[in-house]
């Protein structure tokens, strides 16, 4: 039976460790039954930290003049793609700030090169882009797109995402466009944004279900001192008892509930989770609903410049280090490294209605 909104809310407010153990167990079981024991590896290349936006929480925001900006070359990205193949990854995730210098054509040519030179699935995570761009990149061979809606509370969204002149954000509309274009669609939220209430978070999880997401990424909100929210976030907090904490435990709850509402989704145990618990955050995420990890392939010289939040995990590790670290962690909890591209089981089902499987 499908979990109701009321139950979602109850779990979000639950703090008895024995009851929570039931939630972890249930999510782990649904994960095993729906997507199996394989943990898929998605190599992440953070290829540009330029950004035209001023999101209240993000260290890459336009106004942050403290960080040096970089943009990798197409050849640099391709070198990382080949490294992903050598490590046995099935997917390359190309992520950047919302960089208007990333032209439609340039990005399409990078996608085309990756698709012709490697067997990798390509996931794009480039922020809010127009339908023509998304269509062109899909045409070029991009398989998946990640765009977190961050919060389903429109008022809160608008507070922390100032609009660009003449352009009002509508990420839900973009997620629908991505679906129409045949992408596997990923979204997600931050947990514990100042002003985010339990009701909001329950609505977010309900929206995961409504959107029938192929991929769901969630992580704790981590205050960045060079951002308005990092400096003045306390003033935005919801009343005590209503404000969602940005805690490790709350993050596991959302991972677990995401698994229950979208059993077949690919759900990463995120870097933000590894940041709040460097010892075992990744593992606990994988044992409470997640089935994906995203080893960082960004060349070391750029890593520390992609500082969306402080003390980010893996900031000094080379691609080889993350590769070995994660392979080891996956084996240590009795799971296997995924083979193949790790496509979305729900997407396959939807896009081939005649398929008896
Ligand atoms: N803390 C946690 N997550 C953050 N992100 C951006 N800034 C922060 C922060 N300060 C997340 C957003 C974005 C993803 C790439 O990183 O959810 O979608
Ligand atoms: Fe990067 Fe463990 S994943 S060091």
Give the model confidence (pLDDT) of 21-37 as tens digits: 999 999 999 999 999 99
Summarised one tens digit per residue, pLDDT across range 251-306 is 999 999 999 999 999 999 999 999 999 999 999 999 999 999 999 999 999 999 99
What's the CA gap between 199 and 244, in Å, rounded? 9
What's the CA gap between 218 and 80, in Å, rounded? 25
The answer to whether residue 348 is domain-embedded is: no
357 pLDDT exceeds 50? no
Structure tokens at 145: 């797109």
Average pLDDT estimate for 332-348: 90
Q: What is the C-alpha radius of gyration for the chain, rounded to an integer number of angstroms?
A: 19
Instruction: Give how far Cα 168 sits from Cα of 19, 92, 164, 288, Å.
Output: 42, 30, 7, 36
44: DSSP letter: E
Domain count for the chain: 1
Structure tokens at 280: 């075992």
The answer to whether residue 174 is domain-embedded is: yes
Domain CATH number, residue 299: 3.20.20.70
Neighbours of 87 (CB within 10 A): 19
Q: What is the residue-averaged pLDDT of the chain?
A: 95
Summarised one tens digit per residue, pLDDT across range 44-61 is 999 999 999 999 999 999
Contact 269, 282 (CB under 8 A): yes
- Interhelix angle 131-139/104-117, rounded to 10 degrees, is 20
The answer to whether residue 199 is domain-embedded is: yes
Which residue shows structure tokens 């000094």? Answer: 316
Average pLDDT estimate for 204-210: 98
Domain span holding position 177: 5-341
Summarised one tens digit per residue, pLDDT across range 76-134 is 999 999 999 999 999 999 999 999 999 999 999 999 999 999 999 999 999 999 999 99
Q: Torsions phi, psi of 146, nearest 5?
A: -110, 125
Measuring from each residue's beta carbon to the nearest atom of ligand 1, which residues come in under 6 Å? 57-58, 148, 150, 190, 219, 221-222, 224, 272, 308-309
The answer to whether residue 323 is domain-embedded is: yes
Q: pLDDT at position 143, please?
A: 98
Q: pLDDT at position 355, please?
A: 43
CA of 290 to the centre of ligand 2 (A): 17
Assign 339 a pLDDT band (cuts: 50, 70, 90).
confident
Q: What is the enclosing helix (H) or strand (E) of 91?
A: strand 91-96
317 lines ligand 2 (CB under 6 A): yes
Which residue shows structure tokens 């936006």? Answer: 53
Ligand 2 pocket test: which of 89, 306, 325 has the largest number of ligand atoms within 8 Å of its C-beta? 325
Assign 346 a pLDDT band (cuts: 50, 70, 90).
confident
The answer to whether residue 72 is domain-embedded is: yes
What's the CA gap between 202 and 13, in Å, rounded? 10
CA of 21 to the centre of ligand 2 (A): 27
What's the CA gap between 170 and 179, in Å, rounded? 15
The answer to whether residue 157 is domain-embedded is: yes
Q: Where are the alpha helices (DSSP H) in the chain?
A: 5-13, 17-35, 74-86, 104-117, 131-139, 154-160, 171-180, 198-211, 228-232, 248-261, 271-276, 281-287, 300-303, 319-332, 345-351
322 lines ligand 2 (CB under 6 A): yes
The answer to whether residue 346 is domain-embedded is: no
Of all ligands present, the nearest one to the C-alpha of 218 is 1
For the chain, the farthest-separated pair of C-alpha atoms sits apart, in whole angstroms, at 55
The answer to whether residue 356 is domain-embedded is: no
Average pLDDT estimate for 59-75: 96
First to last CA, the chain: 22
Query: What percent of the chain has a predicted confidence (pLDDT) above 90?
Result: 94
């Amino acid at each position: 039976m499908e979990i109701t909104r009321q139950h979602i809310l109850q779990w979000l407010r639950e703090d008895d460790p024995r009851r929570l153990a039931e939630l972890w167990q249930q999510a782990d079981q649904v994960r095993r039954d729906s997507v199996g024991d394989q943990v898929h590896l998605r190599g992440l290349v953070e290829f540009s930290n330029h950004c035209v936006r001023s999101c209240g929480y993000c260290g890459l925001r336009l106004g942050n003049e403290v960080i040096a900006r970089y943009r990798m070359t197409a050849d640099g990205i391709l070198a990382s793609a080949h490294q992903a193949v050598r490590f046995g990854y099935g997917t390359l995730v190309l992520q950047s700030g919302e960089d208007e210098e990333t032209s439609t054509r340039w990005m399409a040519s990078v996608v085309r090169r990756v698709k012709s030179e490697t067997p990798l699935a390509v996931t794009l995570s480039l922020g809010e882009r127009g339908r023509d761009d998304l269509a062109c990149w899909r045409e070029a061979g991009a398989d998946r797109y990640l765009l977190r809606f961050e919060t389903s509370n429109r008022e809160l969204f608008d507070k922390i995402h100032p609009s660009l002149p003449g352009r009002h954000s509508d990420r839900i509309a973009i997620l629908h466009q991505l679906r129409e274009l045949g992408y596997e669609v990923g979204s997600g939220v931050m947990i514990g944004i100042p002003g985010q209430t339990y009701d909001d978070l329950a609505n977010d999880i309900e929206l995961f279900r409504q959107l029938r997401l192929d991929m769901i990424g969630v992580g704790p909100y981590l205050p960045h001192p060079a951002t308005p929210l990092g400096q003045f976030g306390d003033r935005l907090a919801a009343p005590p008892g209503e404000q969602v904490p940005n805690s490790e435990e709350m993050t596991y709850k959302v991972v677990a509930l995401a698994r229950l509402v979208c059993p077949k989704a690919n759900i990463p145990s995120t870097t933000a989770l590894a940041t709040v618990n460097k010892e075992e955050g990744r593992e606990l995420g994988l044992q409470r609903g997640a089935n994906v990890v995203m080893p960082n392939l960004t060349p070391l010289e750029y890593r520390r410049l992609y500082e969306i939040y402080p003390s980010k995990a893996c900031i000094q590790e080379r691609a080889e280090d993350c590769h070995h670290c994660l392979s080891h962690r996956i084996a240590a909890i009795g799971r296997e490294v995924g083979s193949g591209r790790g496509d979305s089981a729900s997407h396959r089902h939807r896009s081939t209605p005649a398929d008896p499987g």
